[in-house]
Amino acid sequence: MGAHGPSILPTDPDNRATARFWAAFVDDKLVSLLGQIWAAEGEKANALVFEKAIEAFVLLEEAFIICSKGKAFFGGDDVGYLDIALGSFIGSIRVIEMMNGTKILDEAKTPHLAGWAERLYSDSLVKDVMLDPHELLEAHKKIQAMSKAASD
């Protein structure tokens, strides 16, 4: 534990590099795909983009299995760097799933990640700061309506 609390990064250099690699993957690849789906503005998102997003989550499923070493989170027993990097998008992912009627965190294709998302959302350290997907969806609808009204 450092002067300001426990580190969110693994102490082992290889595990730290792995966490940073996958966090960069989330930032570089996943954010772009989710943004493309989100920007579909109520229309069904492009099937190819959805498929790419699901492929990215299948890769993250494999990363979770390796990084978690059978524990609850990417960081092991506790929420860590990669949990935070990916977890910050769970609310948006759930909104996208509601808007499109399609599962991205699919229990059949990514069972470990689906379980991880549930554990993360209910973890005592994060549950009070995670946005409710239904509230996010309502906010998204209001923004869409304002944007449409402004362009008319």
58 within domain boundaries: yes
CATH code, 21 = 1.20.1050.10
* Per-residue pLDDT at 136 exceeds 70: yes
Whether 6 maps to a domain, the answer reads: no
Q: At 54, which amino acid appears?
A: I
Mean pLDDT, residues 29-58 taken together: 82
Higher pLDDT, 34 or 26: 26
pLDDT of residue 3 exceeding 90:
no
22 falls within a domain: yes
Q: Where does 69-132 have alpha helices with state H?
A: 81-87, 90-100, 111-122
CA separation for the pair 83, 6 (Å, rounded): 15
- Produce one character per residue of 135-151: b if its CB has 16 or more CB atoms within 10 Å, e if not: ebbeebeeeeeeeeeee
pLDDT at residue number 72: 96
The answer to whether residue 4 is domain-embedded is no
Total structural domains in the chain? 1
H helix or E strand, kind and range, residue 22: helix 13-25
Which residues, including other chains, have CB under 8 Å from residue 76's CB and lie 6 or more apart?
10, 68, 69
Is position 133 within any domain?
yes
Examine residue 106 and state whether it is found in any structural domain, yes or no: yes
What's residue 46's pLDDT? Answer: 77
Which residue, 6, 36, 151, 7, is CA-closest to 100? Answer: 36
108-135 pLDDT, tens digit each? 999 999 999 999 988 877 777 777 878 8
- What residue numbers bound the domain in which 74 lies? 13-151
What token pair was written down for 49? 């983009």
Q: What is the pLDDT of residue 142?
A: 85
44 pLDDT band, cuts 50/70/90, is: low
CA distance 30 to 110: 15
Q: Is residue 122 situated within a structural domain?
A: yes
In this predicted structure, the answer to whether residue 7 has a pLDDT above a threshold of 80 is yes
pLDDT of 123:
83
Q: Is residue 8 part of a domain?
A: no
